Structure formats: C-alpha cells, structure tokens
C-alpha cells in the first residue's frame, strides 16, 4: 500500500470516528479536575449551552453551577485515584422560556480517569422520568416506597435557562 | 472584488449572495456556510466548515442537520428558532454567540441564522469568535 493510499485510509477512518462521536446520542466530555472542558461532543453542547450563564462552555462546573452547585466539591472530596465520583446524578432544570422538547431533567455521571482528568456523561432523561413518575401518589404505596421514590428523584436546585445570547438580532 | 467583500459574515446582501453563489464561490469564504432545506437535510457545506469540523462535504450533504451533522444546535437557541420562523412565515436573521464542538474541542463562534420565507434553503453561517 502506497503512502497516499494509507494516508487516505487513515483520513477516512478519522472522519468516521469523528462522525461517530458527533452522532452519539448522549453528551460526552473530558474535563480537568477543576472543571475545564478539554473535549466535548455535540450533544454535550446541545444540553449545556442553554444552561451556560455566560454563553461559554469552557468549564463544566460553571455551566452547571445554577443546577448542581456541589459538583466541584464532589470532585475535590473524591480521594481514590480513579473511579465513579457520581453515577446518574439527576439534575432538575427549571427552564425559563418554555420550549417544545427542552430538557427538564439531566443525568450526570462523572468518572475520574486519573489525577488530572475526568470523563463526564450527560443525558436528557426527561421523558424517562415522566414515564416513571405516577400522575398522583398511589394510595396503596407504602411509606417506605414513597421515601425511596423521593430519594430517587431528588431535585438539586432550580435555575432559569439563559436566553439566547443575541449580539445583533436584526429581526427579533 | 472578492467574495469575502461581496458577502461578509454580517453583510446585508449576504443572503442574496448565498442564494446565487456556486459551490466554488462558497468555498472562497472565510467563514462556514451550511445550507439546509425544509426537511433540515444539508444541501450545501462549504470548504471552511468542512475543514473546521473535520468532515468532507460527501459525509455531510444529504444528512439531517440537527440530528446527524450538528446535534449541538438542536435546542431552542438554534433549531427552535428556525422552526418558529418557518412556521410563522417570518424572516429570521439573527446572530448569536455559541460554542461548537469542532473536532471535539469547544470552540467559541458566532452563528448567523438566516431563513427567508419562500427561499428553498435556509442557512447557518459560522464565524470563529476572537
């Protein structure tokens, strides 16, 4: 195989890999221990941009500060060299402008990879939670069952999703 | 006169230029251009955007913009605005600050969202923020 052919094949493989990551239906990000976003896929930006207070996406802890203010503390207080800092942490959003299909509940997983990096997995679980939540408390449900359900669905905090950061709307 | 001067990112005549420009002319621009139809299928994808995203036009054209090509814009900040403007038959010409994940790196950009009632294609222009 010639060098050109090998280079073309590698380029094709690279594009296929990039496109695979672009199409992944969950948010993936690699962050530093201080929250700086080093790498992120499109769904990560899709889910986080409406929450980002400054239209920036440079720091995960900052982007989620309004709805999960304890993330930095969770990471700092996690002592093992690697492992799950949190798994499927549910984050309740209270988006300001109502819009069709906007996420209301996110799920966040944080995996510590080593002393300097973490992998974040972010997912919109609004529909899943809606399906699981009863429309009204079941009269036959035990108090223990209610307590467990309440624990499983613990809203963190609320915030307003930021409005589009419009620098020059010509026809708002 | 160069196409960059004829059709600057924030120019008033840029929409008219995009509608008439050849693929070759789009490739001379120093910002990204994504043109998509009423079904949100990508029909035009210029060289600047192709290089920034790391994807050839062949891999992008014919795919759904908001689910396959750029899911990062599939929210109320971008996709919803196109849907609302199209449903209402209104002109959309708005520029917003945004962050794209080009080659998995968060990159600050300005997006210009363009949709004119009656036009076959709608456009998103992408310019890096300095």
Chain A: residue whose CA lies nearest to B95: A168
Q: How confident is the model at residue A151 (pLDDT cuts 50, 70, 90)?
A: very low
Q: What whole-number distance in Å separates Cα of residue A163 and Cα of residue A169?
A: 13
Contact A42 B54 (CB under 8 A): no
- B91 exposure class (CB count in 10 Å sphere: 0-12, 13-18, 19+): middle
* A58-91 tens-digit pLDDT: 999 999 999 999 999 999 999 999 999 999 999 9
Contact A170 B93 (CB under 8 A): yes
Question: What pLDDT is attached to residue B78?
Answer: 96
* B24-51 tens-digit pLDDT: 999 999 999 999 999 999 999 999 999 9
**Both structure tokens of A109:** 């997983």
Question: What pLDDT is attached to residue B26?
Answer: 96
Position with higher pLDDT, A11 vs A139: A11
pLDDT over 50 at B4, yes or no = yes
ipTM over 0.85: no
Position with higher pLDDT, A104 vs B91: B91
Compute the nearest-CA separation of A172 from chain B (Å): 7
Question: What pLDDT is attached to residue B53?
Answer: 93
Compute the nearest-CA separation of B110 from chain A (Å): 9
pLDDT, mean of residues B1-15: 80
| Interface residue B104 vs chain A (CB under 8 A) | yes
User: To which H or E segment does residue A15 belong?
Assistant: helix A3-23
Q: Collect all residues with Cβ–Cβ distance below 8 Å to B51 and sequence separation of at least 6.
A: none
| Interface residue B95 vs chain A (CB under 8 A) | yes
Chain A: residue whose CA lies nearest to B94: A169
Q: What whole-number distance in Å separates Cα of residue B64 and Cα of residue B70?
A: 8
Contact B99 A55 (CB under 8 A): yes
pLDDT over 70 at A3, yes or no = no
């Amino acid at each position: 195989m010639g060098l050109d052919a090998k280079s073309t094949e590698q380029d094709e493989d690279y594009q296929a890999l990039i496109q695979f990551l672009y199409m992944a239906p969950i948010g993936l990000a690699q962050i530093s221990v201080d929250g700086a976003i080093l790498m992120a896929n499109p769904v990560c930006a899709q889910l986080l941009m409406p929450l980002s207070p400054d239209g920036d996406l440079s720091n995960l802890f900052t982007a989620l500060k309004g709805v999960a203010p304890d993330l930095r503390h969770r990471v700092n207080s996690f002592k093992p060299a690697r492992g799950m800092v949190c798994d499927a942490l549910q984050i309740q959003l209270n988006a300001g402008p109502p819009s069709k299909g906007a996420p209301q509940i996110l799920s966040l997983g944080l995996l510590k990879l080593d002393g300097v990096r973490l992998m974040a997995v972010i997912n919109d679980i609004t529909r899943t939670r809606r399906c699981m939540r009863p429309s009204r408390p079941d009269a036959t449900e035990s108090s223990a069952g209610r307590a467990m359900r309440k624990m499983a669905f613990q809203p963190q905090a609320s915030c307003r999703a930021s409005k589009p950061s419009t620098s020059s709307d010509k026809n708002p | 006169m160069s196409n960059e001067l004829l059709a600057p990112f924030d120019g008033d005549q840029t929409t008219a230029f995009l509608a008439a420009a050849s693929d070759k002319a789009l490739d001379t621009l120093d910002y990204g251009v994504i043109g998509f139809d009423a079904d949100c299928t990508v029909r035009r994808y210029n060289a600047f955007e192709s290089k920034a995203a790391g994807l050839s036009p062949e891999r992008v054209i014919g795919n759904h913009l908001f689910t396959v090509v750029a899911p990062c814009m599939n929210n109320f900040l971008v996709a919803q605005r196109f849907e609302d403007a199209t449903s209402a038959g209104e002109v959309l010409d708005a520029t917003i600050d945004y962050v794209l994940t080009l080659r998995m790196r968060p990159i600050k950009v300005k997006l210009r969202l363009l949709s004119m009632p009656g036009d076959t294609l709608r456009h998103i222009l992408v310019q890096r923020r300095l």
